[in-house]
Structure 1
Amino acid sequence: MSWFPRITPGFPQYTGPYSVGSADFEIPVSSLDSPASSPDSSISTVAFRIFYPCEASAREKAVKWLTYPHRGYVQAYARFLGAHNLFAQLFSYFPHLLYYATIPVKANAESLQANTESQRWPVVIFSHGLGGSRNAYSHICGTLASHGIVVIAPEHRDGSAPVTYIKSPSSGKVRPLYYRRASHTPSPEVYEHRDNQLKIRLWELGLIHDAILKLDEGSLYIPANTKITKRESGELNDVVNQLQGQLDVHTPGSIVMAGHSFGAATMVQFTKSVYYNDQSDDPSYQPLYTPSTSSSITRQITPATTVLLLDMFCLPLRSPSTEWLWSQPMPCYAPSGSGGDALLAVLSETFSKWKGNLSDMKLALSEDPTGANLSRTKAAPTFFYPTASAHLSQSDFGILFPRVTRVAFKSEEPERCLKLNARAMLQKMRENGFEVASTAQIDAEEEDKSFPVDTPFNTREDWRILATNGGIKGWIPINIDDGTESEISEGKEDIILLLPRTRIEQNS
Structure 2
Amino acid sequence: MVFSHGLGGTKNAYSHLLGSISSHGVVVIAPDHRDGSAPLSLVRATPGSTPRPVEYRSISHKPTSEVEEARDGQLQIRLWELDLIHEALLKIDRGEPLMNTLAEKSPETMGDLAMFSSTLDVQAPGRISWSGHSFGAATVVQLVKSVFYTSSKDAPSSYQPLFEPSTSSQIAHQITPASSVMLLDLWTMPLLSKSTRWLNTLPLPCYAPDGPGGRNVIAVLSEAFFKWGSNLNQLKRIISEDPSLDKPVVKNHPAPYVFYPATSAHLSQSDFGILFPWLTRKAFKAEDPARTLRLNTRAILEVMRRNGVEVADTSAIDMEDASGHDGVPGGQIGQDWRILQTDGSVAGWVALDLGSRKHTEEAANDETAETADPMEAVVQGEVSKTTSS
TM-score above 0.5: yes
> Runs of 4+ in structure 1 displaced over 6 angstroms?
none
Distance 1:237 1:291, change over 3 A: farther
**Residue equivalent to 1:49:** none
**Residue equivalent to 1:500:** 379
The DSSP-based 3-state class of the residue aligned with 1:336 is coil
Determine the C-alpha separation between the residues in 1 that align with 2:38 and 2:304.
28
**Residue equivalent to 1:8:** none
1:142 aligns with 2:15: no
Compare CA radii of gyration and give the structure with the larger one: 1
Q: Which of the numbers 174, 186, 194 marks the counterpart of 1:320?
A: 194
The DSSP-based 3-state class of the residue aligned with 2:129 is strand
1:474 counterpart letter in structure 2: G
Q: Which of the numbers 247, 255, 269 marks the counterpart of 1:394?
A: 269
Determine the C-alpha separation between the residues in 1 that align with 2:55 and 2:100.
26
Cα offset for 1:230?
Answer: 6.3
1:421 aligns with 2:301: no
1:173 aligns with 2:47: no
Determine the C-alpha separation between the residues in 1 that align with 2:67 and 2:256.
29
1:408 aligns with 2:283: yes
Q: Which of the numbers 93, 98, 120 marks the counterpart of 1:216?
A: 93
Determine the C-alpha separation between the residues in 2 that align with 1:286 and 1:231.
40
Cα offset for 1:324?
Answer: 1.2
1:149 counterpart letter in structure 2: V
Determine the C-alpha separation between the residues in 2 that align with 1:164 and 1:132.
10
Determine the C-alpha separation between the residues in 1 that align with 2:109 and 2:147.
30
**Residue equivalent to 2:165:** 291
Determine the C-alpha separation between the residues in 1 that align with 2:250 and 2:46.
53
Determine the C-alpha separation between the residues in 2 that align with 1:480 and 1:251.
31
1:160 aligns with 2:37: yes
Determine the C-alpha separation between the residues in 2 that align with 1:298 and 1:180.
31
Distance 1:199 1:230, change over 3 A: closer
Q: Is contact 1:167–1:175 with CA below 8 Å preserved after alignment?
A: yes
**Residue equivalent to 2:59:** 182
**Residue equivalent to 1:99:** none
Deviations 1:473-495 (A, max 9, x none): 1100011112489xxx8244643
**What is the correspondence of 1:271-290 to structure 2 with a 5 Å cutoff?**
271-279=144-152, 280-290=154-164
Determine the C-alpha separation between the residues in 1 that align with 2:225 and 2:250.
25
Q: Is contact 1:349–1:388 with CA below 8 Å preserved after alignment?
A: yes
Q: TM-score, normalised by structure 2?
A: 0.89
What runs of 5+ residues in structure 1 fail to find an aligned partner? Answer: 1-123, 453-458
**What is the correspondence of 1:14-33 to structure 2 with a 5 Å cutoff?**
none
Determine the C-alpha separation between the residues in 2 that align with 1:429 and 1:217.
24
Cα offset for 1:181?
Answer: 1.5
**Residue equivalent to 1:473:** 347
Cα offset for 1:184?
Answer: 2.2
Deviations 1:4-37 (A, max 9, x none): xxxxxxxxxxxxxxxxxxxxxxxxxxxxxxxxxx
Cα offset for 1:350?
Answer: 0.2
Determine the C-alpha separation between the residues in 2 that align with 1:231 and 1:302.
36
**Identical counterparts, % of pairs:** 50
**Residue equivalent to 2:370:** 490
2:28 counterpart letter in structure 1: V
1:315 counterpart letter in structure 2: M
Determine the C-alpha separation between the residues in 2 that align with 1:291 and 1:336.
22
Q: Is contact 2:88–2:98 with CA below 8 Å preserved after alignment?
A: no
Q: Is contact 1:271–1:331 with CA below 8 Å preserved after alignment?
A: yes
Q: Is contact 1:315–1:490 with CA below 8 Å preserved after alignment?
A: no
**Residue equivalent to 1:306:** 180
Determine the C-alpha separation between the residues in 2 that align with 1:171 and 1:272.
35
Which is richer in strand? Answer: 1
Cα offset for 1:293?
Answer: 2.2
Q: Is contact 2:281–2:287 with CA below 8 Å preserved after alignment?
A: yes
Determine the C-alpha separation between the residues in 1 that align with 2:104 and 2:177.
43
Determine the C-alpha separation between the residues in 2 that align with 1:308 and 1:430.
13
2:71 counterpart letter in structure 1: R
Deviations 1:163-194 (A, max 9, x none): 10112312563211111112222221221111
Which is richer in helix? Answer: 2
1:433 aligns with 2:308: yes
Q: TM-score, normalised by structure 1?
A: 0.69
Distance 1:420 1:270, change over 3 A: same
Q: Is contact 2:305–2:334 with CA below 8 Å preserved after alignment?
A: no
The DSSP-based 3-state class of the residue aligned with 1:239 is coil
Q: Is contact 1:493–1:501 with CA below 8 Å preserved after alignment?
A: no
- What is the number of residues matched between the two proteins? 367
1:133 aligns with 2:133: no
Deviations 1:216-264 (A, max 9, x none): 111133557xxx58662x3443011111011000110000000000000
Distance 1:496 1:130, change over 3 A: farther
**Residue equivalent to 2:128:** 255
1:477 counterpart letter in structure 2: A
1:377 aligns with 2:252: yes
1:305 counterpart letter in structure 2: S
Determine the C-alpha separation between the residues in 1 that align with 2:44 and 2:70.
24
Cα offset for 1:375?
Answer: 5.8
1:361 aligns with 2:238: no
Determine the C-alpha separation between the residues in 1 that align with 2:236 and 2:262.
19
Q: Which of the numbers 57, 81, 103 marks the counterpart of 1:204?
A: 81
Determine the C-alpha separation between the residues in 2 that align with 1:150 and 1:215.
12
Q: Is contact 1:354–1:492 with CA below 8 Å preserved after alignment?
A: no
1:128 counterpart letter in structure 2: H
Q: Is contact 2:161–2:196 with CA below 8 Å preserved after alignment?
A: yes
**What is the correspondence of 1:455-474 to structure 2 with a 5 Å cutoff?**
461-474=335-348
